[in-house]
Every structure is written in C-alpha cells, then in structure tokens.
Amino acid sequence: MMTSLDRISDLARPDLAARLQHRLDQKTKPQGSLGELETLALQIGLILQTDEPRLQQPQMVVFAGDHGLAARGVSAFPSDVTWQMVENFLSGGAAVSVLARQHGLALTVVDAGVARDIAPRDGLQIRKVAPGTVDCTQAPAMTRAQCEAALQAGAEVVSGLPGNALLIGEMGIGNTSSAALIMSRLTSIPLVQCVGRGTGLDQAGVARKLAVLDAALHRHAEVREPLAVLAAFGGFEMAMMCGAVLEAAAQNRVIVVDGFIASSAVLVAQALQPRVLQRCIFAHQSDESGHARMLAHMGVRGLLQLGLRLGEGSGAALAWPLLESACRILREMASFESAGVSQRDADASGA
C-alpha cells in the first residue's frame, strides 16, 4: 500500500498553469468573473495534465462498515441501519442512488466491514475485513494488519474501476464519532470542537457522545502516527476510503470528496502524503460542526454550503455538475479572438 505514496507526484506545472490561466483569461468574459468555477477549471486541468480536460466514466464509490463504538450510544440510530442502508443503495432508493442516476455516475457499494452479510449482486463489492470494528474505548478499533488490509482493498477497488474521476462516500452508524476522534488527534483541535450531532442527537445525546469519545481519546493517548490513529479510531470503511484516495491520487484521478467522514479519510491520506490534496476537490462544507475546522486545517474550501449532513456521497454527487461545467468552459467557451468580441479598453478605469 505504501508504494502508492511514492507514485503521487507533484502536480505543480508552471507552464501548464500559465497556459490554463491564459485560456481562462481570454474567454469572452471579464477576467475572474466566473469566480471559483475558474479556480476549479484550473485545478482539474492540472490534475488531468491538459488544457482541454474531459471527465470520463466517473465512479461514485460508497464504502460501508460498522463500528463497535456504536454500542456506546453515540448515534441516534441503531447499527442495523448500516446494512439496511446498503440494501437501500443497491435497490436504488437512497439519496446517493437517485443523484448518481441523475448525473450519470456509476455507483459501486463496497462492504468494507458491515456486521451482517450482504447477498452478492451487481453493484456490490464484498471486501469485508471483519464484521465491524471493536469498541475503541476498550482497544484499538482494528489491528494494524486489518488497517493495512483495508487500505489495500480500497486501492484495489479503485484500480478495478475505469475512468479518471472518483467520487467517495460512506455509510456506517457511529462513523462521525470515529471521524471526530481522528480529526482531534491529527489536528490537535480540542475534541469538543470536533464533535457534532451526527445522525441527529439532541443536546443530551451530544454530551453523552462527547464523554464516550473523550474516554476513547484518553485510552489511546500515546497514538500519534497517522496509520496508528486510523487503526485506533477508524472504521473499515474509512480505512478503505483512505486507500482508495491514495491510489486515485497515484493515478492522477480527480477525487471528489463528500462530507465530514470522507474528509477525515483524506485527512489521514494527506498526513501520509500531502500531495494528495492537489487531486482533491471538496464538494461541500457540511453541517457537521467539525467539518469547517477540518477543511480549514487542510487549507481547502468546500464548493457548496447547503447545510448537508447525510453522507453517502450525496454532496459529492450534487457538486458533480460544477466540475463538468468547469471543463466545458475551458473547452467550449469562445475566446475574444474567436468570437470577434472586443476586449476591455486598457485605458478604461470604470466598470
């Protein structure tokens, strides 16, 4: 797995960046008037190493796993919801299923460690490391060997899928707790600023969740190395997402990151290899309270801010048309010269 770290090159290409910026500046518009869409076009061009980027065969991959920590009452929903939602994804009834159909995204669901066996069928990859992690207030959520197996499985999932764009999502009751623990340990942000309502806890529920997570954090007080942190607190679905992100980055795929949990997997990946972030586009800033701080720590911004906190990859799917639009602007929008449109008067100082 770690060999993928050596394959993640620096995408900095001053010549290509200048060519992309020149193309954007020569489009029939005031310079910079398409705002963040222009920034997005520039990033995608650098990821795909071309000034005429095309997004091909985009893959939405939803990783699912159960968490031993859920037994401590950190979620408003029971663990059975994990496997039930996997069935919902596969039958086409979940939000991400609807949005994937709408936007032409191939949807793959990965059983990374669901506590119940899911019947094999099209659209499902069974990569179960174990039927859920153990309670991380008592022991590491997974062994180092299990963590490495999950990372490798995530990389293999990506390698077996076509296309040049990967959208990542997840499902796992209790995984906002794991994400908050990983965030606090890797960023040194106080736990209270990382913990949110998750699936909809009330104030008392959040207080109970915080107490449980504080105990987990103290139980593993000496753990600092990124993969050890992932093994101590993470879920199998989060470890597989991390492996998928590392492999997608090594292959120079555009990586569209969903919300709080998906971002925590990227947080681990970029701790291992900072150049991962060059390939990542963060779909949105979720309503989970720690997400804004996590994005700020990584020095990135979410494209959308819609108060989302569903997960599943739903935010990534919603942001997808913006990526397609950014590419089309580069490829199809006329330049001043080709359209015969006069450019701004160099002597003008007004609007």
Q: Are strands 124-126 and 254-257 parallel, antiparallel or unpaired?
A: unpaired
Q: Is 312 a catalytic residue?
A: yes
Cα–Cα distance for residue pair 320/103, rounded to 1 Å: 8
Cα–Cα distance for residue pair 119/309, rounded to 1 Å: 28
Strand order in the sheet with 106-113: 124-126, 106-113, 59-65, 165-171, 254-257, 280-282
What would the 3-class secondary structure string for 196-230 be?
CCCCCCCHHHHHHHHHHHHHHHHHCCCCCCHHHHH
Cα–Cα distance for residue pair 90/112, rounded to 1 Å: 15
In single-letter form, the type of residue at position 141 comes to A
Cα–Cα distance for residue pair 49/312, rounded to 1 Å: 29
Helices marked H in the chain — which ranges? 3-6, 14-25, 36-48, 80-91, 95-103, 144-159, 175-187, 203-219, 226-233, 236-250, 260-272, 291-298, 314-332, 336-339
Integer-rounded Cα Rg, in Å, for the chain is 21
As given in the structure block, the two tokens for residue 72 are 């401590």
Q: How many residues does the chain have?
A: 351
DSSP 8-state class, residue 335: B
As given in the structure block, the two tokens for residue 269 are 């990946």
Short-list 145, 141, 169, CA closest to 157: 169
Catalytic residue, chosen from 38, 237, 247, 312, is 312
Short-list 48, 4, 1, 46, CA closest to 21: 46
Provide the sign of the torsion angle of the four alpha carbons 70, 75, 77, 83, taken in this order.
negative
What residues act catalytically? 312
